[in-house]
Amino acid sequence: MVLTGAINRGQASQLKSLILKQDVGVANTFSSLRQKSDRDVASGLLPLLNPNRRFGLHITHICAELNPAAISGAVGSFVVNLSSALQKKGNLVDVVLPKYATMDMDAVQDLRVTEANFQSFFGGQWHANKIWTGLVRSIPVTFIESLHPDGFFLRDKLYDYKDDFERFSYFCRAALEYILKSGKQPDVLHLHDWQTALVAPMFWELYASQGLGGSRILLTCSSFRSQCLQEPEKLGYCGLDPMRLHRHDRLQDAGQPNMVNILKGGIVYSNKITTMAPLSNAFDLENGQALQATIMAHKNKLLEIMNGVDLALWDPATDVNLPSVYSIDNLSGKLACKRHIKKQLGLLNSSDSEPLVGCLMPQASESNFDLIKALLRCSSVKRAEFVLMGGSKMERFANELEGENARIIRSYDDSTAHLIIAASDILVCLSSEGTTELPLIAMMYGSVPVAKHDMSVSLKDASDSVHEVDANAFIYSSGTAQDLSAALLRAIDCNRNDPEKWKQLIRNGMSRDFSWDGECVQEYISAYASLKQL
């Protein structure tokens, strides 16, 4: 850039100093501009020389998924969305991921081999790996290609093999070995689910004393359902001491004391733990009960941080699925959506002012029949219109549920889901795993949610005088039809009888920033910053 006149020698010297210090801003800026001209790169780099610039954190995600390169569940989307949001706030973020045979290579830019014979320990000996680097949505990613004879990542899918423990414990050890030998000094190693939870005990037992002691560990659990129970002796594969770790206060499983619990090890050895769903949900899961004592013992490390909402998918101001878009400043498009779906479904017997209750149940089955009937009764008694979209299992009893002011959409499709959320005055959010974002989306679309108390920490009950100013929802505390019905009745009464309060509920919800770039990323930055004080 000096030769082309984009920067002078003094600026080049200053930038070199930042590079030697592993400056966060230099890495992020160069990653996003590496295909640009010298002058474009210079225009991005020169502001970093400002002496008043705020310095960010260095976060390294060690994970088994990354959208869109390696997708299986929610973790891959979580990592890419959070990483992008962190980058925008001036933090250095990188990802370490296995190089799967099934990886979407088109999703990776500038993929190249940076080390052809990287050694990592497993099963009593050292094994060769290839280290690849590339960019996924402008996020620097290190891919570890295992050359182990068992072909750990040369499979047709990411998970569900008998040797999954061996596969991911191998990767965990290789990831830590790579971070150590590369000279990187992340402020935080961010781990995800049991697949990389073993990094936490490996870090403190094997690597902290080798030069990584300045890093701290944060573990995010997307679910407590999958924990990975193994025979203690297998911990020796990756160099851990089974005798040292097979204890009740470390990795020993509470339900099967002869086994070690890998997710438990992550909880015990991590400095902070976050959940992608409210923590109380963990205790509702049959397979999560063995962790309850461990979670309570480490409750001072636990944080409930709700996922952000992807604005590329969910934004009433830009949503391509809607007949008319709208915003908090102009809600006329919301009324247009309501009129559109009423006409589409033949709900023509009431005025625009009558409340429309929406409900999405993609996993609906006969077990939900009583809840659905209760919702329909409430709507009928209060002369509200009701629209439910369920999955394929709705077909058998849809005719029985439909009425003059009720419509059942028998198959689930994403475009119609967007329209129902936008058109509804009230959105009933039934609690189930994977639905915790729904009340947030409802609020963003100006639809007041009726939701279970543990679906989101952002819910503020309109029936509670404590939240008279910031209320945004009607909350029910249990999953019974009676409790749900009571909350829906309160919502319908408020909509019909207190229009000023209803407008305030809508404003309270729509004014919040539930995107990844909003409250979510700020909470994670606060969590990371608190780790630096430990």
Highest mean pLDDT of the ranges 37-46, 149-158, 362-371, 451-460 = 149-158
Q: Nearest 5°: phi and psi at 234?
A: -65, -20
Q: Are 218 and 531 in contact (CB under 8 A)?
A: yes
**pLDDT of 287 strictly over 60:** no
User: Given phi > 0 = left and psi -120 to 50 = alpha, else beta, which region is 427?
Assistant: beta
pLDDT(32) > 70: no
Query: Rounded CA gap, 491 and 475, in Å?
Result: 9
Taking domain 56-97+162-308+522-532, whether its CATH number is 3.30.230.10 is answered by: no
Cis upstream peptide for 362 (omega within 30°): no
Structure tokens, 86: 């962190």
Assess whether pLDDT exceeds 80 at residue 523. Answer: yes
Classify residue 428 by burial, with Cβ atoms within 10 Å: 0-12, 13-18, 19+.
Answer: buried
Q: Are 525 and 86 in contact (CB under 8 A)?
A: yes
Read off the DSSP letter of residue 206: I
- Comparing 463 with 516, the larger pLDDT belongs to 516
The dihedral region occupied by 505, where left means phi > 0, alpha psi between -120 and 50, and beta the remainder, is alpha
pLDDT over threshold 70, residue 72: yes
Q: Is 332-513 the same fold as 56-97+162-308+522-532?
A: yes
Helix (H, G, I), strand (E, B) or coil at 357: strand
Q: What is the pLDDT of residue 329?
A: 97
pLDDT digits (tens, 9 = 90+) for 188-246: 999 999 999 999 999 999 999 999 999 999 999 988 888 999 999 999 999 999 999 99
Nearest CA to 57 out of 190, 147, 161 is that of 190
As a whole number, mean pLDDT of residues 432-458 equals 88
Within a 13 Å sphere around the CA of 141, how many CA atoms are in the beta-carbon half? Answer: 32
CB 360 within 8 A of CB 438: yes
Domain boundaries, the chain: 1-55, 56-97+162-308+522-532, 332-513
Reading the block at residue 413, the tokens are: 């499709």
Distance CA 26, CA 182 (A): 18
* 169-193: average pLDDT: 98
Classify the C-alpha dihedral 333-339-340-341 as positive or negative.
positive
- Mean of the pLDDT values across residues 8-25? 67
Distance CA 172, CA 199 (A): 5
Task: Please return the burial class of 404, using the count of CB atoms within 10 Å of its CB with bins 0-12, 13-18 and 19+.
Answer: exposed
- What SS3 class is residue 480? coil
- How does the average pLDDT of the chain come out, rounded? 90
The closest alpha carbon to 172, from 249, 235, 102, belongs to: 235
Q: In this structure, what token pair is assigned to residue 425?
A: 């005055």
Half-sphere exposure of 7 (CA within 13 A, CB side): 20
User: How many residues in total does the chain contain?
Assistant: 534
pLDDT (tens digit, 9 = 90+) per residue, 482-518? 999 999 999 999 999 999 999 999 999 999 999 999 9
Instruction: Classify domain 332-513 by CATH number.
Output: 3.40.50.2000
Residue 180, amino acid:
L
H helices within 302-394, ranges in order?
Answer: 332-345, 369-381
